[in-house]
Structure 1
Amino acid sequence: MTVQPKPRPGKRINDPEGMRKKVLDVAEDAFQARGYHASSIGDLMAAADVSGGALHHHFPTKKALALAVIDERVAAAVEETWIAPVLAAASAREGVRSVFEAVAAELEQQGFVRGCPLNNLAHELSLADPDFRTALAGIFAGWRRAIADKLRADQQAGKDEGTDPERFAALTVAAYSGAMSMAKTAQDAGVLRDCLAGLERSAPSPSQGGLAARRRNRILPRPRTP
């Protein structure tokens, strides 16, 4: 039997993808915990236990690293937390409700609120650089589009006909983003439940929905009565 030699202590194993993932993990955590501007390249190198050459091989600049975090981690978090559950739900409103409730329950169990990853970076970076703003805006747009598309599908099935899909999507994203900011400041996830209650009170009644549908389908105005 041939015995494979063990790597010598302190010798780095060549794993470029593993190293890249580790740097992304460290940067994602640092940007959320301390912020982009407060996280130096030296801090990130030390936390990831990588050399400057290794880090810059994958991410030539700190900005490139931040864009990778936005594109690969923040976008994925929105997809996992919001888009996939809403699209899989029986309706847009049920999907929105399930996300608010799930996030509130998770934060209450966790015992602290770090905030929404997208919201945190949007507050810090949107005015700092146009490339950051474009990347962050694209995630917000995809989030809103998924909710609006789900509501349109509901309406084709005869549900929630009195609700404007684009406005409902914008209101949902704004309510969640604002609720997460307030929850982070107060360290209280209950704000999410309050915002959910407000969103649900905005739902049209069945009679209102039918009236809105009839108005949309009306081609000519009603004739004036003499």
Structure 2
Amino acid sequence: RKESYVGPWLPEPLLTAPDVAEDVALADSISMAMLLVLETLAPVERAVFVLREVFDLAYEEIAEAVGKSPAAVRQLAYRARGHVAARRPRGCASPAQTRAALHAFQQAVETGELQSLLDILAPDVVALSDGGGVRHALLRPVVGADKVARLLAGGWWKRQAPRSLEPVEINGGPALLVRVDGQVDGVLAVSVENGYVTGAYHVRNPDKLSHMAHETAISR
């Protein structure tokens, strides 16, 4: 129950195949940033939005699935689209642009160079960390390039060694798999807009890392 969750809540990361990113709509719908937006919808609104916008089901089919009339489903879909449009990331980057930004981000994090981090972070970047009350993590969001850069440069998440960062595809987009002594310790995903990192999502909750051993097949 998230109302009693310790610290920020992040979606469970899924290790996905590189070709998932080629389906832009599908990749966008399962990205960390989008899943956080969808989490703000009511459960039925979320179901209607995904079934309509991602799977392109007819309103009549959705109505049968959620136990509503087609007219009610149309209204739910309209409200959900408006809600998502107001909150979804703007100016999302292509997979290639995201990989380039992630590579620069990785180098800056590994070296701890403050200026390098400031160069890649958006002014209003948000850092979220999910330890689920089990692993060390941020207890609240950190907002702003200066604060996030100092946090990363100071090694807020580097509590153990040896540590490695491995580029992988998470939820349809480039991310970093964090290992400590060869064991999976967490996932660091980012959202990128206009070449800058606007969101950094660090999942350490061990209950959410069960899908890191094998790719999860995802398709429409």
Between Structure 1 and Structure 2, whose CA radius of gyration is higher? 1
Normalized against structure 1, the TM-score is what?
0.19
Query: Higher helix fraction: Structure 1 or Structure 2?
Result: 1
Q: Normalized against structure 2, the TM-score is what?
A: 0.19
Structure with bigger strand share is 2
Larger RCO (alpha carbons 8 Å, 6+ apart): 2
